[in-house]
Amino acid sequence: MIDETHDPGLTSWVEPANEPGIDFPIQNLPLGIFRTRENPTPRAGIAIGDFVLDASEWIPGTTLDGYMALPQSDRRDIRHRISRALEKGAVTRGLLSQTDCEMLLPGTIGDYTDFYASIHHARAVGSIFRPENPLLPNYKHVPIGYHGRASSVVVSGTGVRRPSGQLGAGIFGPTQQLDYELELGAWVGPGNALGEPIPISHADRHIVGVCLLNDWSARDIQRWEYQPLGPFLGKNFCTSASPWLVTWEALAPFRTTPAEHETPVLPYLQSAGADALTITLEVFIRTQDLGEPVQVSSASFRDMYWTIPQMIAHHTSNGCPLRPCDLLGSGTVSGSDGNAGGCLLELTRNGSKVLQLTASVRRCYLEDGDEVILRGYCNASGFRRIGFGVCSGRILTACMESLAGRRDAF
């Protein structure tokens, strides 16, 4: 629902928030959990410009768990109250610089599910490993997903330890094909009872908001282990999430009608609503040899084959209960253009093609010390641009203590 909080003419008494092109104008109002050295108690905050406004008077508690459990109407009311408090002419309040705040995960993640919602990514990966049949026959009929590991979801800025695992028969060691995956994460609000599916017409009531997500992958470990049950240790060692939750309400101006499927989907996945999102997502890599990060790809979430409401409708179609603070990953976001690949597996054709970052720096897969930075933003005519901040992680060397007694080829 587009309302006065989206008015592009709305300005804030926080003057930096009125500058064009910033991530966090008053039209955005993303939520997060932060703490400071002076006050180490975690509490809710609002990103506004380059600052954080303590939001504990509207959202109590040390996590956003309670907020995520609220009905959509209550969450919308909180957005309106915060918008009025930050509007130009309102009483000014104390602000904290974002650089002085330590950001935490917004909520206590109970379950994490990762989907495979980009048909461009599915085709690109399939063409590498199954060139004669790149897209499996079920893809256009069902949102493919798997259950990940909530305990290894970390907040942006957390170092990513290079995982070790089985790389083939009798081979154990650090992954040699460490990759990132450009994704969007969806935070779940009020859930559903066991045995009671969420109809797609009600799915948006159960979406609190979205964040940037990097679902790191060890391709060599994954390739050896994934048959017959799918991803396991090659995927569950770490997933990085950006700290700011951009609310579903803030995204209202950027929702659009999904592209029509050439293969009709079953009724429980059909929606007449504006369920797709127009979001630009970008990937940057900074190596130890580079002072500044280099952009390596850009893709649009608008091009996803399956929408977030379709993911929720399918996830619960068998009666599986979702709960507040569950996290859903979109799967790698890619485009049809060769430079829109959302991972190195695509961009380097599984290491067969070098990715040239600069004249002297190139990569096939990630090396120790590399930092991957994800950014995202929404643009639409007649509305203020809003952003997502960053989701970053730097690769740390493998934990060698875990490799004692290994049999490997390295």
How far, in Å, CA of 120 to CA of 337, rounded?
Answer: 9
| Encoded tokens for 214 | 């990097």
Q: Which residues pair with 186 in a beta bridge?
A: 210, 328
Q: Are strands 102-104 and 182-188 parallel, antiparallel or unpaired?
A: unpaired
Could you report how far apart the first and last alpha carbons of the chain are, in Å? 56
DSSP 321-353: PP-TT-EEE------SSGGG-SSHHHHTTTTTS
Q: Among 6, 80, 120, 121, which one carries the catalytic annotation? A: 121
Which of 66, 325, 323 minimizes the C-alpha distance to 193?
A: 323
Which of 151, 113, 23, 65 minimizes the C-alpha distance to 311?
A: 113
Cβ-in-10-Å burial (0-12, 13-18, 19+) of 388 comes to buried
How far, in Å, CA of 34 to CA of 41, rounded?
Answer: 8
How far, in Å, CA of 125 to CA of 116, rounded?
Answer: 11
121 included as an active-site residue: yes
Cβ 106 vs Cβ 33: under 8 Å: yes
Q: Catalytic residue positions?
A: 121
